[in-house]
Amino acid sequence: MEATNVYSMPRIGDSAPEFQAVTTQGTIHFPSDYKGKWKILFSHPADFTPVCTSEFMTFGKMAEEFEALNCQLVGLSVDGLHSHIAWLRTIKEKIDWKGWKNVEIKFPLVVDITMEVASLYGMIQPGESNTSAVRAVFFIDPQDKIRTIMYYPLSLGRNFDEIKRVLVGLQTVDNFGVALPADWRPGDEVIVPPAGSCGVAKERMEGAESDLHCYDWFFCTKQISKEEVESRLGKK
C-alpha cells in the first residue's frame, strides 16, 4: 500500500510549518524569508470565483496598511501559476467593485496544486471540500510562532476589519504586556495582569494603584491612549 503523508493541524503557539513554494512573486521559503516580520498566511478556495475576488481586492486595497504594521501577506490556493497570473491580471484590468478598480496584487500567491501546503496547515476540510482550501487565516509573529488562527467556510467572505484588529491587538499585547477585552480598539482600556498575591489584590481594590480601574480583584484595567498604541505598531 502506498504511504500517504498524515499532518496534524498546527495550533496556536506552534512554530509555523516550513515550506518552499512557487508563487506569483517567485519562489519563497516560508516563514524564513520573512523573519522579523509579522506574517498573515491565508488560503482561498479557487481563482476566478466571486467571493475570493472580493477578498483579494480588499487585501490589495489594504496592503499598505498591513505593510505599515510590519506584516507580510501571503495567499494560497490549489490552483496553478498560470491561473493565478491570469486571475490577478483580470482583477487589475477588468474588475470594478465598490468603486475599486485597477487593484494590483503585489504580495505572493502560492501555487499549491498538490495541496501539500494546504494539508500541512489544515486548510483542507473534507466536510466542506476535498479539493479546495477553506478560508483559513494564520497570524504568525516575528519569531515565526502561530498566534491566531481563523477559519471561514467557502461561502462566507472574511471580515477584514477584524483581521486588521487582531493584528493590531496582538502587537499591542506584546508591546505593553497586557490583555485586551472584548471588542477592544486602540484607545480603549486594556486589562492588566491579575494580582499575584492577596496583598496586591487588596491594595488594588483599595485604590493604591491610581492608574487602575478595578471592577473586582481579578479584573483591573488601565488606559493606554490610541496615540501611544499606534506609535509602537509595526516596530520590530
Cell 485586551 belongs to 180
- For residue range 124-140, list pLDDT tens digits in order: 988 888 878 999 999 99
Task: Please indicate, yes or no, whether residues 85 and 119 belong to a single structural domain of this protein.
Answer: yes
Task: Please indicate, yes or no, whether residues 145 and 189 belong to a single structural domain of this protein.
Answer: no
Task: Please indicate, yes or no, whether residues 90 and 129 belong to a single structural domain of this protein.
Answer: yes
Res. 2: pLDDT tops 60:
no
Going by C-alpha positions, the residue among 154, 151, 157, 181 that lies closest to residue 169 is: 181
- CA–CA separation, 231 and 225 (whole Å): 10
Query: Quick check: is 168 in a domain?
Result: no
Of 159, 192, 221, the position where a domain reaches its end is 159
Q: Mean pLDDT across the stretch 78-89?
A: 97
The residue from 52, 71, 214, 220 that is catalytic is: 52
Of 159, 186, 215, the position where a domain reaches its end is 159
Going by C-alpha positions, the residue among 123, 185, 195 that lies closest to residue 154 is: 123
Task: Please indicate, yes or no, whether residues 64 and 152 belong to a single structural domain of this protein.
Answer: yes
* Domain carrying residue 139: 19-159
Q: The domain spanning residue 138 has which CATH number?
A: 3.40.30.10
- For residue range 162-184, list pLDDT tens digits in order: 999 999 999 999 999 999 999 99
Going by C-alpha positions, the residue among 168, 201, 216, 153 that lies closest to residue 66 is: 168
Task: Please indicate, yes or no, whether residues 196 and 98 belong to a single structural domain of this protein.
Answer: no
- For residue range 46-65, list pLDDT tens digits in order: 999 999 999 999 999 999 99
What does pLDDT average to over the chain?
93
The pLDDT-based confidence of 205 (bands split at 50, 70, 90) is confident
Say if residue 158 carries a ligand binding annotation. no
Query: Quick check: is 172 in a domain?
Result: no
Task: Please indicate, yes or no, whether residues 37 and 147 belong to a single structural domain of this protein.
Answer: yes
Does the annotation count 52 as an active-site position?
yes
Give the total number of structural domains in the chain: 2
Task: Please indicate, yes or no, whether residues 30 and 117 belong to a single structural domain of this protein.
Answer: yes
Task: Please indicate, yes or no, whether residues 139 and 186 belong to a single structural domain of this protein.
Answer: no
The length of the chain in residues reads 236
The sign of the dihedral angle between the CA atoms of 167, 21, 114, 77 is positive
**Pairing mode, strands 212-216 and 219-223:** antiparallel
b vs e for 193-218, b when ≥16 Cβ sit within 10 Å of the residue's Cβ? Answer: eebeeeeebebbeeeeeeebebeeee
Give Dmax (Cα) for the chain: 70
Res. 142: pLDDT tops 70:
yes
Of 133, 159, 185, the position where a domain reaches its end is 159
Task: Please indicate, yes or no, whether residues 64 and 104 belong to a single structural domain of this protein.
Answer: yes
- For residue range 35-51, list pLDDT tens digits in order: 999 999 999 999 999 99
Query: Quick check: is 169 in a domain?
Result: no
Task: Please indicate, yes or no, whether residues 129 and 198 belong to a single structural domain of this protein.
Answer: no
